[in-house]
Structure 1
Amino acid sequence: MPLPVWAADPYSLLITEEQYEALPEEVCKTIEVVDGSVVFCGSPGHEHQIVSHNLTNALRDARPPSPCISVVQDLDMRYRCSNPQAKEKGRYFTVRRPDVSVLHCVERGSKVTSADVFTTVEIAGADSKQRDFQDKKAEYAAQRIPMYLIIVLDADDAIHSVEEYRLDWSGRNYQLAFVHRDVLDTELPEGMKINVTFSDLESV
């Protein structure tokens, strides 16, 4: 059988930030980029989208009058550059797209970076648990995002639990702070208090 393209050309799945920006929006929505490597992402299911939408609304309702806070779904989040030579090399560009991001407001038209975000949320189904519990958890902690919530779906795509992670003393690793059952009741940075039942998050 013929070799796949990447076997003969290991650079075929690498992409620079400039190349990413030139892609059609419908293509960008199907991929993430990690250290310049393309990662393909499946489309979320119906239940996943309902939970994401309802949580976004609940978080928006929890925002204090100030400072200005945005709550968005599926928004490109570029990692702040830890290597000053990365842009010159052009292959260390990383963009993730959390299911929900809570961030300080940015200027209109500005690209969001991990430095703007203070809480990320991923909804972990059967096909994404390894990515959400291992890869993204390590990456978001390394980017020093203060809080990370993982909504765990069971085999029927109902919410089983919500795991709440916060940065430890090192500021580079997450510690499990709490496992929520039936109700997500917690306080995010910037005084955002949220109390929402799992049934409300699953409500159509």
Structure 2
Amino acid sequence: MIPDMSAPEKRCELRLTSEEFADGKADGLGDIEIVQGLVIRMIAPSPLHSRVVRRLAGMLEDARRPGGPCMVVDSDVAARFVDSESPVEDRRLNIRYPDVWIRDCEPYDVNSVREHILLVVEVTSGSTIDVDINDKRIQYATAGIPRYLIVRLDQKEERIEEIEEYRLDWSGRRYLVHTVHRRVLLLDEPVEATIPFDALERV
């Protein structure tokens, strides 16, 4: 989903603490993310964005090996990341809803699922690209998620330009570019998959 940045001066600022989130205060707010306690409302993605997320999740799910490690593929499911350092309680909470992830089969818990994610994917849009390549890349690396894919759409959001694959470096807390995939996504971990871009793009 895409952050709604329209007319910020007219939008009422809403903040949540971790306790309020746990009590269900975010229920009914629709598609949101929470960054340093601030609720960011999301707008509907483009048709291509939606198509790529849906198809990529399905293809990754199909790529799981029978008899191999148990893995779950999810889309737009909440994950809590490390709280921001702030003396103010409603300036700490960080909740993301990654476009796609692969995780192990430990029981889902929003507070700890980040520790079980094996690969996370974000599909860019014009309004999210800076967050995807900067904020989320730092956040996901700090959480120790081994692999991060950024699917870059072109400016008109009509095709995939490239898919950047990041992997943690020796520190285990910072990403380095491993491969830039063009026209075909070739994965070896946590699943083996060969996914042509046109299989994700086609109408």
TM-score over 0.5 (shorter chain): yes
CA drift of 1:91 comes to: 4.5
| Separation of aligned partners in 2, 1:36 and 1:176 | 30
Where do residues 120-135 of structure 1 align in structure 2 (5 Å cutoff)? 120-135=120-135
| Separation of aligned partners in 1, 2:40 and 2:84 | 21
Matched residue, 1:94: 94
- Alignment partner of 2:70 out of 62, 68, 71: 68
Matched residue, 1:142: 142
- Mapped pair 1:27 → 2:26: no
Q: Does the 8 Å CA contact 1:16/1:90 hold for their aligned counterparts?
A: yes
Q: Does the 8 Å CA contact 1:80/1:115 hold for their aligned counterparts?
A: no
Where do residues 157-176 of structure 1 align in structure 2 (5 Å cutoff)? 157=157, 158-176=159-177
Q: Does the 8 Å CA contact 1:63/1:69 hold for their aligned counterparts?
A: yes
| Separation of aligned partners in 2, 1:46 and 1:23 | 30
Structure with bigger gyration radius: 1
Q: 1:6 to 1:55 in 2, by over 3 A?
A: closer
Normalized per residue, which structure has more helix?
1
Which amino acid is 2:195 matched to? V
Task: Name structure 2 gaps, 5 residues minimum.
Answer: 1-8
Cα deviation per residue 1:22-56 (whole Å; 9 max; x = unaligned)? 24644142x21122222232221111110011100
Matched residue, 2:3: none
TM-score after normalising by structure 2: 0.83
Q: 1:92 to 1:113 in 2, by over 3 A?
A: farther
Matched residue, 1:203: 202
Cα deviation per residue 1:151-184 (whole Å; 9 max; x = unaligned)? 0000231100000000011111100111000000
CA drift of 1:81 comes to: 5.9
Q: Matched residue of 1:41: which SS?
A: strand
Q: Does the 8 Å CA contact 1:33/1:39 hold for their aligned counterparts?
A: yes
Q: 1:15 to 1:168 in 2, by over 3 A?
A: same
Task: Name structure 1 gaps, 5 residues minimum.
Answer: none
RMSD: 2.6
| Separation of aligned partners in 2, 1:136 and 1:50 | 22
Which amino acid is 2:78 matched to? D
Aligned residue pairs, count: 191
Q: Matched residue of 1:115: which SS?
A: helix
Identity %: 34
